[in-house]
Structure 1
């Protein structure tokens, strides 16, 4: 992992006071050379204050205090800006609730660098739905919703990524710089699909690494059916728009061929 350069793990938080110390401690143990950025959306439960106390005791831990709850996508975009401005070479997305296990991050970083024997990648996804991936303590309804969301995304966009909606990811710096982050307006569930779709359209290499996703033990999930439905609608529109562009391109080339014959 050393050849990857400086690594930043970005962990957005909102009312995660029961989890923030656990997750930062696990990250620091699993990948000691990495820095951690807590991007807190002004949590009323004291998450930001606790993060400040932890950061005062660890030079590898940083805290970003945001004005209020603006959504997961906005928090990650702010974290990306913070990390890119400070010259980090790898930026990692990770949930605060422990569902993304830090102990599996070294394997993802190996896939990014090629230390696992592969060619290396521009973006690595921690995947629940490839061989070896799993979820723990999820009801069947939640699993069906997630699997169905990824399946619909693959069909709508014509991609082969098995876990298109997962939020455990490792980006190279050059990948983020090539995604056009300035005009990303997506949030939450849809945000993850948006960044993946941008990466694939830009020609970046994407690798999926199996992970075990563990349902949170403490606190409440921010996921809702409304968020998922909104994401699927946006994904459908992206797919229609992309296929329309392809069709217009084909028609344009056909007219040129006819005109030149």
Structure 2
């Protein structure tokens, strides 16, 4: 059976296609209406197939504009932009500054011992004085409050002077009894356990050895010497001086002369380099 497409049918199909396109452009969902318009003009197979092709192509074109015109994505940037702003306002500002300050430098107390000063006595030989220093300080502030301070420079304006206290270690010595006359070879005793024979000779040797400084302690390349007669530890021990003090500088003049007489009885003047002053 042969179908013939007449001009009238073509005109009706074109009109239906124009009507469907008009409905899609206006944003109306008219798929069913477009189908109705296509079915009304003709019941032929040729008309239906020609009308169906525009319908399927028109459906995607109507869906695409509705997707691009959505307003939901535009609301998200507004929410994200407001949160960082609120956090930034809550944080206090952090700043730094440099300040100067003057600090007092306190003196220390130093003790010194003197064998020529009587034991149990003391005196201030140097008065203590405080000093001062200029400090340069770097401060870190958060919200106007100091949270950290670091000293970056210290300039001493006046150095402190330590207080010096001298403490005596010399034992109290009783007034020596008058020396009795004796021979140069013998020893006369005076006082309890003391022998002051040849006292004048020992004074002359002491003057040569130490300037008669009976509490002196001196050292050189040959050793350390103690007392007015500059006796070593061994000489003091051999002469029996340990019953008076550990070294000669800790004993009195009379005790040192007593030990010197004991050494003289054993060795003569050999232990003394100033024996020529005798």
Q: What TM bracket, shorter-length normalisation?
A: under 0.3
Question: TM-score, normalised on structure 1?
Answer: 0.24
Question: TM-score, normalised on structure 2?
Answer: 0.23
Q: Which has the greater radius of gyration?
A: 2
> Could you say which structure has the higher helix fraction?
1
> Could you say which structure has the higher strand fraction?
2
